[in-house]
Every structure is written in C-alpha cells, then in structure tokens.
Chains A and B, each alone.
Chain A
C-alpha cells in the first residue's frame, strides 16, 4: 500500500477536469468548512466528496485505503470530542477531517504530478521576477512526493534486514542505516538530475 495517494489513471469527468479547478475547489471546501459552523455542513461536504469519488470511478479499495490510514486519528479525535464537547462537535471535527483528507486524496488520485507542478509553476510565477528559482522549487516539490515512496521502500528494506539480524527493538539499528541509505539516494538523485539536463 502506498503511503500517499498516487495518481490513478482514468478518463472520468473528474480526471479530465483541469487541475487548477480541482485545487480551487479543494481550497473552497476548506474555507467553507471553517466559515460555516454546525455539524451538518461537514457531512454535506463529505457526501459531495464521496459522490465525486463515485464519479471518478475509483476502485472502492482506494477509498478504503485512504480511510484506513485515518482510522486511529479519527477514533481518538472523535471520542475525545464526544466526551469533552458532545456529539455535534465530534461530528463536525471528524466530518471536516474526513472531507478534507478525502478531497485532497481525490485531487492527487485524478491529477498527474506534471499537471500539479505546472499549476504550482504558474502560481509561483510572480516570484520568478524577483529572482526566485521557481522551476527548481516546483521540481523540488514533485521530487519530494516521489521520494516518499522511495524512502518508504528503503525503510521496509532496513526493517527486513533488522529482523533478519534479530534487532527488532533497536531504533538506532533502524534509523542509522535508513539515514545513510536516504543520503546515498539523495546523492544518486542529484547525479541523475544533472545527467538528465537539470542544468539546461
């Protein structure tokens, strides 16, 4: 299972919608949920986001995997709110969290990284005029997303090596090789970027 929502190819209306529109909608949902108080707006927004998932024809397991990652946070937050502030506050907090995470996931699942990078590049364009290397900044963000899965794979390898040597409970035996491998990967990535024309 991936740590973050990865692009899931498709030809649905949601996939074909411009990435800028999807990001604007995501921001709008966030603003509306902060401005509108009460327990029902988050539930209405959550229902709308779930409808968009259906419209995007994404596999049910994709949605479930998104929810599974939130399970403990939702449980702890929901129960705490229920005890301290009552069911209405618990519904509002949990509903807002689920809506925003699922909506952000929907954008990632239906928009390619290249399109997101292009949008970011356009948003950052004013900074380019004052000398900020906006293209590199946008590339940095897309590389960070790619690196999440690489680091997760490295962590799994280190954990397996740790188990094979009977070092399950040693945080140091996990952290040191992971750090070394991550730095090696960063160095190799730097070489690859140069080889692939980053300095063009």
Chain B
C-alpha cells in the first residue's frame, strides 16, 4: 500500500483580484486502506485530491506518493494513482465502451492480445458486457461512472482517488458504485457528500476553508462535520 506524505502544502488559484487560497499549510501522512474526505463545497478537498496524482502541483510544500515527489516524478505517480472524476463524461475519451477501457492500456505499450483480454475482463467485471461496442455517451449516468471506474482500474493502479463519484448519480446507482468500491482490494481515497459510504473506513479527513480541521475515525469525523455544517 503506497504511503502518501503531504508536507507543509499550501495552494492558491489566480483570480481577477489576487489569488484564492484553497489549501493552507497542510501536513498529513496517509497509509490506511480506506480514507474518506469530506467538507463543504469550496473547502479544498478537490484540490487535495488533485495533489495526490500531480494534477495540481502545490505552490509550496511537497507531496510524495510511495516516495515519488509529484513535482519531479508526475508520470510515475500517475501510474500508481488512478483518478476517478465527479463527471464521468469528462473522463471518457473514446467513442465506444471497449475503446475507452483500452485507452489507458494502449499507452502502456502492452501487446494487442493482452490489451484485449484485460479490457474484456474489466468490462465483464463492471457489468458492461452487453455494452462493449456501445457508444459511451449513450450510457446511463450509473453505467458511465462504472465505465470510468473500469477504465481507471484496468491499468492496475495501487491507489484509487475518487472525487465525489456518486454526486451525479441517483440513490440506486450511488449504492451500486459504493458496493463496488467497498469490494475493491485497492487503497481508496474517497471524497464524498454521501456520509453513509464512509462506513467501515479506516480514517476520515474533514476540510473547511482550506484547512484540515478534523482527522478521525468515521463516526467522530462525520459527527464533527455535521456540527460544523450546523
């Protein structure tokens, strides 16, 4: 399981009037199997998630995944860390389901037969076997999120970061995605507003106004969050 070290990280985004501070002096070390991240919109949790695979490089401080600095070894970090976005439409890059699952594998330089076998296995595992040649944009919201998940996991990352994967889904699809995530053998960092998905997690971080304000087991962290939201 990769060790994630975040040391004195601060980050801001440019605005028309100065800069918007989104993370301030964050230091945390993570190595649990299941880690939840919660916080209000704009609390800095999405920026935190993007730091973990080098999609965002911090203004100051350092992020290391399994010893790799995201600033200097971005490509190596992204091989270790799979990332699932809130909106699967933004993540699906190829026209059909099978082609999208194969996309990440083709970039790894694997043999064609190996790519096909792994893609077909992933499509089956995620219940998309009837849709292999289906246009990806015509799938339902839940199926799109499953496709996004299959396309990330087929490349066999060690850590999976999921940025609110159930926010755009109805209750049934959200529960289905939650069940799949619960069964994954991977280390998972899950950002969510669905607090029930955090049951059984090893650790939950609560962000507020760019600061880590609570770092505890799920019950205490979610209680803290509920009080914080008033």
Chain A 136-148, CB within 8 Å of chain B: the 1/0 string?
Answer: 0000001101100
User: In the complex, A192 Cα to B75 Cα: how many Å?
Assistant: 14
Residues B84-109 near A (CB distance < 8 A): 85, 87, 89-96, 98-99, 102-104, 106-108
**When the two chains form their complex, are residues B104 and A197 in contact, meaning their CB atoms are under 8 A apart?**
yes
B118 close to chain A: CB less than 8 A: no
User: In the complex, A188 Cα to B90 Cα: how many Å?
Assistant: 6
User: In the complex, A189 Cα to B155 Cα: how many Å?
Assistant: 18
For A191, the chain B residues whose CB sits under 8 A away are 50, 55, 85, 90
**When the two chains form their complex, are residues A196 and B104 in contact, meaning their CB atoms are under 8 A apart?**
yes
Chain A 175-200, CB within 8 Å of chain B: the 1/0 string?
Answer: 00000000001001101111111111
**When the two chains form their complex, are residues A199 and B90 in contact, meaning their CB atoms are under 8 A apart?**
no
User: In the complex, A198 Cα to B103 Cα: how many Å?
Assistant: 10
**When the two chains form their complex, are residues A195 and B99 in contact, meaning their CB atoms are under 8 A apart?**
no
**Cross-interface CB contact of B95 among A6, A185, A194, A199, cutoff 8 Å:** A6
**When the two chains form their complex, are residues A146 and B90 in contact, meaning their CB atoms are under 8 A apart?**
no
User: In the complex, A43 Cα to B93 Cα: how many Å?
Assistant: 39
Taking the nearest CB of chain A, how far is it from the CB of B191, in angstroms?
14
Residues A143-167 near B (CB distance < 8 A): 143, 145-146, 149-150, 153
User: In the complex, A196 Cα to B87 Cα: how many Å?
Assistant: 15
User: In the complex, A199 Cα to B55 Cα: how many Å?
Assistant: 12
B78 close to chain A: CB less than 8 A: yes
For B222, the chain A residues whose CB sits under 8 A away are none
Taking the nearest CB of chain A, how far is it from the CB of B92, in angstroms?
8
A-B contact count (CB 8 A): 86
**When the two chains form their complex, are residues B95 and A197 in contact, meaning their CB atoms are under 8 A apart?**
no
The number of residues on chain A lying at the interface, defined by a beta carbon within 8 Å of a beta carbon of chain B, is 27
A114 close to chain B: CB less than 8 A: yes
For B83, the chain A residues whose CB sits under 8 A away are 195
The number of residues on chain B lying at the interface, defined by a beta carbon within 8 Å of a beta carbon of chain A, is 34
**When the two chains form their complex, are residues B137 and A113 in contact, meaning their CB atoms are under 8 A apart?**
no
A112 close to chain B: CB less than 8 A: yes
**When the two chains form their complex, are residues A153 and B104 in contact, meaning their CB atoms are under 8 A apart?**
no
For A112, the chain B residues whose CB sits under 8 A away are 96, 98-99, 133
Chain B 101-133, CB within 8 Å of chain A: the 1/0 string?
Answer: 011101110000000000000000000000011
**When the two chains form their complex, are residues A194 and B85 in contact, meaning their CB atoms are under 8 A apart?**
no
Name the residue on A nearest B105 (C-beta).
A197
B145 close to chain A: CB less than 8 A: no
Residues B51-74 near A (CB distance < 8 A): 53, 55, 74
Taking the nearest CB of chain B, how far is it from the CB of A168, in angstroms?
26
**When the two chains form their complex, are residues A198 and B85 in contact, meaning their CB atoms are under 8 A apart?**
no
**Cross-interface CB contact of A196 among B89, B93, B96, B135, cutoff 8 Å:** B93
Taking the nearest CB of chain A, how far is it from the CB of B116, in angstroms?
11
Taking the nearest CB of chain A, how far is it from the CB of B85, in angstroms?
6
Add 6 more A-B contacts to A113-B95, A142-B94, A146-B95 (CB < 8 A): A143-B93, A146-B94, A191-B85, A192-B93, A196-B91, A196-B107
Chain B residues in contact with chain A, CB under 8 A? 50, 53, 55, 74-75, 78-79, 82-83, 85, 87, 89-96, 98-99, 102-104, 106-108, 132-133, 135, 137, 151-152, 155
